[in-house]
């Protein structure tokens, strides 16, 4: 007698399990397909960049970085970490109105600020000694070799790289400015300010570039104030007037570097992460966890379950979109291409995952640098006019100023520059301002021109010196009696 084996009958939960497994496999297949396509997108962008003789990855970026003296850079970081406070941020010592009266020749320098300059001298001398070594770089380039050795170049490493300290840099710039304007011989402090400007001129991040823009503005003040005081050394003046303003190009350099320093390190971090590892290594939080209670809410959110795998699938494609956008902006700022940068409303929908979260308003930095370029020309023109007053007086109008200068390179330059207008406001007063008829480059925001040109044609300001948004100067008393 034979017995048949019992026939297996699937239960309902077997079917449910089969459906779950099928759905999970389908989801994984979709994610893997997206990841594969994204890899191809990113490799295409890297190939295009290399075809333009541009570095494409973080390894290539660090390989072409300038070689620095590590001990010199470490000494600068030690000094910078002390964050010298000058002038007193509480506003108890430096009074802007008092300082303007001093540079306009209407009052002596405040004894309080003179004393504070002396009180900070020993601390600032450390930085001045370091600046006299031409190898010093006050930029993120100074830290790359130490902070990002091979094998430690993923996003969590690059996010921790040491960058210049804006507060420290501004304190040093203000101190050098005020020291040059109050000391018997302005040359030592002004020479060190020029060295500081040179050390800032190799930006490796966008933050580096914007610090350079900020310090350049303080340096412009120093040159104009020394001219008003009649104490600007001729050698410094000639060199400052002849130098090329590279602030817009500096922003382009900073953007290109960030493309490799952060975007590529993010892409490579995704490349190194397994699918299962992505659940915690690539998890995207809400960014609002400030208390333990909020952290629990974060974990209770469904996002912790899917954000990592979704980032794993889309990270390469999103990196390609960002790298392409940043490369376009930097090339446009350098004049390597003329077509406008795509509007963010066009770019944002191209992202598949969370890549857009890490993209700030990049064009704003370019616009700040564009305006700083125009302001630098205003200051150089103002210093030139003040220097010529003893022999030539104030130009009666812009035509006369053009004839005196011999060319329009400062007032109406070609290329991506704002045009300037000159106005004589009286026997002893003049104004330089962005011209209402100025062309604007196609990376600018058209509505901004109205604010820049608002002072044009307006009555003279009551203050002796105005430097924003126009440069408006009342000649000091020592120049008013000259023919």
- The full 3-state SS of 212-274, as one line of letters, equals HHHHHHHHHHHHHHHHHHCCCCHHHHHHHHHCCCCHHHHHHHHHHHHHHHHHHHHHHHHHHCC
Return the pLDDT at 287.
43
pLDDT, averaged across the chain: 89
Nearest to 249 by CA among 184, 186, 201: 201
Show the CA angle centred on residue 219, arms to residues 218 and 224, nearest 5°.
100
Instruction: Assign 208 a pLDDT band (cuts: 50, 70, 90).
Output: very high
Residue 99 has pLDDT above 70, yes or no: yes
Return the pLDDT at 478.
86
Show the CA angle centred on residue 235, arms to residues 233 and 239, nearest 5°.
120
Q: What is the mean pLDDT of the segment spanning 340-351?
A: 91
What percentage of the chain carries pLDDT values higher than 90? 73
pLDDT, tens digit, for every residue of 212-229?
999 999 999 999 999 999
Residue 151 has pLDDT above 50, yes or no: yes
Q: What is the mean pLDDT of the segment spanning 161-169?
A: 94
**Least confident window among 182-191, 308-317, 378-387:** 308-317
Q: What is the mean pLDDT of the segment spanning 51-69?
A: 95
Dump the DSSP string for 358-369: G---HHHHHHHH
Determine the Cα–Cα distance for residues 171 and 136; give it in Å rounded to an integer. Answer: 18
361 phi/psi in degrees, rounded to 5? -75, 85
Instruction: Assign 14 a pLDDT band (cuts: 50, 70, 90).
Output: low
Return the pLDDT at 284.
75
pLDDT, tens digit, for every residue of 250-302?
999 999 999 999 999 999 999 998 888 877 778 776 443 334 445 555 555 56
311 touches 303 (CB < 8 A): no
Q: What is the mean pLDDT of the segment spanning 144-151?
A: 92
Q: Are strands 465-466 and 420-426 parallel, antiparallel or unpaired?
A: unpaired
Return the pLDDT at 228.
96
Return the pLDDT at 340.
93
Q: Which residue has the higher pLDDT, 126 or 19?
A: 126
Determine the Cα–Cα distance for residues 427 and 86; give it in Å rounded to an integer. Answer: 37
Return the pLDDT at 298.
53
Residue 396 has pLDDT above 60, yes or no: yes
- What is the model's pTM? 0.90
Residue 335 has pLDDT above 70, yes or no: yes
């Amino acid at each position: 007698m034979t017995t048949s084996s019992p026939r297996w009958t699937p239960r309902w939960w077997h079917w449910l399990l089969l459906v779950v497994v099928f759905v999970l496999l389908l989801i994984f297949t979709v994610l893997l397909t997206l990841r594969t396509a994204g890899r191809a997108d990113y490799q295409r962008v890297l190939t295009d960049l290399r075809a333009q003789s541009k570095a494409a990855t973080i390894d290539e970026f660090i390989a072409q970085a300038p070689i620095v003296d590590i001990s010199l850079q470490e000494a600068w970081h030690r000094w910078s970490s002390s964050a010298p406070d000058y002038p007193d941020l509480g506003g108890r010592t430096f009074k802007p109105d008092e300082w303007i009266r001093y540079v306009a020749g209407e009052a002596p320098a405040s004894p309080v600020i003179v004393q504070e300059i002396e009180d900070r001298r020993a601390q600032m001398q450390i930085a001045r000694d370091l600046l006299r070594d031409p190898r010093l770089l006050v930029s993120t380039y100074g830290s790359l070799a130490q902070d990002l050795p091979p094998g430690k170049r993923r996003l969590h490493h690059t996010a921790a790289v040491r960058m210049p300290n804006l507060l420290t840099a501004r304190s040093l710039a203000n101190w050098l400015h005020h020291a040059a304007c109050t000391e018997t011989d302005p040359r030592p402090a002004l020479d060190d300010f020029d060295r500081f400007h040179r050390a800032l001129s190799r930006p490796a991040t966008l933050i580096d570039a914007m610090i350079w823009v900020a310090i350049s503005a303080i340096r412009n003040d120093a040159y104009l104030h020394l001219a008003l005081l009649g104490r600007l050394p001729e050698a410094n003046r000639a060199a400052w007037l002849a130098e090329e303003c590279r602030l817009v190009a500096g922003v382009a350099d900073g953007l290109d570097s960030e493309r490799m320093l952060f975007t590529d390190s993010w892409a490579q971090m995704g490349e190194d992460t397994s699918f299962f590892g992505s659940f915690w290594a690539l998890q995207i939080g809400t960014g609002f966890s400030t208390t333990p209670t909020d952290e629990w809410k974060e974990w209770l959110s469904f996002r912790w379950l899917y954000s990592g795998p979704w980032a794993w699938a889309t990270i390469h494609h999103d990196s390609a979109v960002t790298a392409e956008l940043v490369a376009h902006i930097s090339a446009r700022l350098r004049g390597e291409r003329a077509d406008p940068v795509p509007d963010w409303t066009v770019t944002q929908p191209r992202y598949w995952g969370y890549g857009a979260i890490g993209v700030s308003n990049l064009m704003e930095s370019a616009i700040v640098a564009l305006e700083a370029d125009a302001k630098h020309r205003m200051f150089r023109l103002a210093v030139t006019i003040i220097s010529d007053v003893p022999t030539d007086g104030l130009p009666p109008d812009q035509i006369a100023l053009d004839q005196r200068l011999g060319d329009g390179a400062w007032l109406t330059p070609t290329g991506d520059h704002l045009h300037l207008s000159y106005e004589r406001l009286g026997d002893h007063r003049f104004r330089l301002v962005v011209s209402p008829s100025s062309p604007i480059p196609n990376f600018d925001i058209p509505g901004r021109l109205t604010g820049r040109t608002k002072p044009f044609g307006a009555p003279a300001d009551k203050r002796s010196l105005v430097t924003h948004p126009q440069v408006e100067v009342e000649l000091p008393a020592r120049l008013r009696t000259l023919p």
